[in-house]
Amino acid sequence: MGFYLNAGNDLFRRALNSRIYVDKSELIAYTNSILDTENEYICVSRPRRFGKSMAANMLAAYYDKSCDSMSIFKELKIAQNPEFEKNLNKYDVIFLEIQNMIAEAGGMDKLIDYIKSSLIRELETQYSDYIKCSEQNLFLMLKNVYQNSSCENNGFIFIIDEWDCIFREAKNNAEIQKEYLEFLRALFKGRDYVKLVYMTGILPIKKYGTHSALNIFNEFSMTNPRQLAEFMGFTEGEVKSLCDEYDVDFSEMKRWYDGYKFKKIGHIYNPKSVVDAINYDEFVNYWTSTETYEALRIYFDLNFEGLKDSIITMLGGAHCPVNIQKFQNDMTTFESKDDVFTLLVHLGYLAYIEDSREVFIPNFEIEDEFKNAVEGSNWTEVVNAINLSDTLLGATLNLDQTAVAQIIDSVHDETVSLLKYNDENSLSCVISIAYYSARNDYTLIREFPSGKGFADVVFIPRKNCAKPAMVVELKWNKSVNGAISQIKKKNYANSLDDYFGDVLLVGINYDKEKKKHECVIEKCQKQI
């Protein structure tokens, strides 16, 4: 057993010993299916806090020939697979955790030499029969071990965790980045001793012109998870089971940590935040334990054309179109807001819908980070608008129609320089920003389905909130009374499932000629 070559299964045992463990062992069925094939090179990129290291430790524990892992896998889902034992503890595993190794090496410029010398030393120790001490070429050593070993499943499995650390921490050092990629290419490409390479990181593989030094890899990412979608985070079913087991409010869990979506499996949750919320019995922003809003603010301050407009629209609950194709898979090459938004998808700050090619802010936790970043970027117009939201909510609950119209006028005046204000969609965005603080007590749903159409914006009180529900209908240069009539005619209030009590019907119209908003508020009650 070594530090990097056949390091054992202790790290995965620790995960299994934790209070909360969600079984993702069926990932092994996929890696077994591509082992020793032309598809044996995979790069899995997803944000921090999304279980990358746990998956890497699990694969190492399964394949590592230096240990006996039957006892730790026999109760997991993968044990039901008929080929479960075929590759269990049958291979040499080289596990490189790049972030730690950079520190151990004494810097990024020493990393490659450190990897080579460390693996050479461990190969000499574990396979002295096949290696001449005078031979100090890592690639030849690996080849000699492979060709001379009499083991049934000879060959190496490489697991590299945080493979892209250099591209994140040495953002502007193209020379070190390229040298690192060339080392990985030389280690893997065309090598018969390689049986599987599983790399994890946040960024997909860096693009250099029309070619990549690592074009042998199949990529699985937050923009295209492919067959590994269910292993990119916690599925909704897994989160529901956890909430049932630990008596946790699923609706709050969903509001705080849901929002990422993959077309084949639906909703995906942030695993670390879900676990923290259960362990600490508190729904708060756990993102700040590994990231700060300043990381997000850096990209806001690039200030590409249309960036503010889109961010404000997303803060208002809307989706924005994005072109992810030109992104160069690094943290410095940006030519447009599309490049910024694509990076934010990979970092976990935005969710991506593959079918519609849109991005949006996924949940309350990330929304909090966006709000902090907006404040830190001195976007005074947006900050002023958000600061008015408490007053607006109070005026609405007091049925003060005049005050509501005036406050929305003020919010509009703050944001009009940033938004194209010319239809009900832009009006809806302004209203969502204007009622921003209501999210503390309400679940806000835009385009709420009622059976007879869609209510523009609905505010449903969260559990233990005594405030009334609100149904808001918006009109652009029409009649405010017509908005109220539409709410009544289509019976939007009675479409609020599982809610009974007072409902405020709020009609808002923007008069294009007067450049003023109008408001009518009525109270009704939804009966049991």
Does an H or E element contain 444, and which?
strand 442-449
Over its C-alpha atoms, the chain yields an Rg (Å, rounded) of 27
Domain ranges of the chain: 10-220, 234-376, 392-526
pTM exceeds 0.85:
yes
311-326: pLDDT as tens digits: 888 888 889 999 998 8
- pLDDT for the residue 289: 60
Neighbours of 440 (CB within 10 A): 12
CA distance 488 to 503: 12
- pLDDT for the residue 419: 58
User: Residue 130 above 80 pLDDT?
Assistant: no
Burial class, 160, CB count within 10 angstroms (exposed 0-12 / middle 13-18 / buried 19+):
buried
480-494: pLDDT as tens digits: 899 899 888 888 877
Tokens of 462: 């969260």
Question: What kind of fold does domain 10-220 have according to CATH?
Answer: Rossmann fold (3.40.50)
Burial class, 150, CB count within 10 angstroms (exposed 0-12 / middle 13-18 / buried 19+):
exposed
Closest among 146, 141, 157, 176 to 58, alpha carbons compared: 157
CA angle 470, 468, 416 (to 5 degrees): 35
Neighbours of 145 (CB within 10 A): 22
What single letter denotes the amino acid at residue 10? Answer: D
CA distance 293 to 370: 7
CA distance 266 to 258: 10
What single letter denotes the amino acid at residue 144? Answer: N
CA distance 432 to 386: 10
**What is the DSSP pairing of strand 218-220 with strand 516-526?**
unpaired
Task: State the DSSP code for 211.
Answer: B
**Residue 349 near residue 292, CB atoms below 8 Å:** no
Give 211's strand partners. 208
User: Residue 420 above 70 pLDDT?
Assistant: no
- pLDDT for the residue 154: 81
81-119: pLDDT as tens digits: 999 999 999 999 999 999 999 999 999 999 999 999 999
- The answer for residues whose C-beta is within 8 angstroms of residue 108's C-beta and 6 or more apart is 102, 166, 169, 170, 173, 176
Which SS3 state, helix, strand or coil, does residue 382 take?
Answer: helix
Residue with the two structure tokens 């994140």: 168
pLDDT category, 128, cuts 50, 70, 90? confident
What single letter denotes the amino acid at residue 48? Answer: R
CA distance 383 to 358: 25
- The answer for residues whose C-beta is within 8 angstroms of residue 510's C-beta and 6 or more apart is 412, 421, 427, 475, 476, 477, 516, 517, 518
Average pLDDT in the chain: 88
Query: What's the whole-number mean pLDDT along residues 157-180?
Result: 90
- Relative orientation angle of helices 380-387 and 364-376, to the nearest 10 degrees: 130
- pLDDT for the residue 150: 62
Tokens of 236: 């909704």
Whole-number Cα distances in Å, 357 to 68, 445, 488: 46, 21, 35
User: Residue 406 above 80 pLDDT?
Assistant: yes
427-471: pLDDT as tens digits: 888 888 888 888 889 888 877 666 555 678 889 898 888 899 999
CA distance 333 to 285: 30
- pLDDT for the residue 208: 59
Task: Write the DSSP assignment of 325-360 as a string of letters.
Answer: TT--SSSS---SHHHHHHHHHHHTSSEEETTTTEEE
Tokens of 270: 């942030």
Residue with the two structure tokens 């291979």: 91
pLDDT category, 498, cuts 50, 70, 90? confident
CA distance 40 to 43: 10
Whole-number Cα distances in Å, 481 to 57, 196, 207, 286, 488: 62, 66, 56, 44, 11
Q: Minimum mean pLDDT among 56-60, 112-116, 507-511: which range?
A: 507-511
Question: What kind of fold does domain 392-526 have according to CATH?
Answer: Trna Endonuclease; Chain: A, domain 1 (3.40.1350)
User: Residue 425 above 90 pLDDT?
Assistant: no
Q: Strand ranges (DSSP E) for 450-500?
A: 454-461, 469-476
Tokens of 317: 């609950």
User: Residue 508 above 50 pLDDT?
Assistant: yes
196-247: pLDDT as tens digits: 999 999 988 876 554 466 888 999 999 999 999 999 999 999 999 999 999 9
- pLDDT for the residue 153: 59
- pLDDT for the residue 210: 45
232-246: pLDDT as tens digits: 999 999 999 999 999
Sheet with 260-262, side-by-side order of all strands: 234-235, 266-269, 260-262
- The answer for residues whose C-beta is within 8 angstroms of residue 406's C-beta and 6 or more apart is none
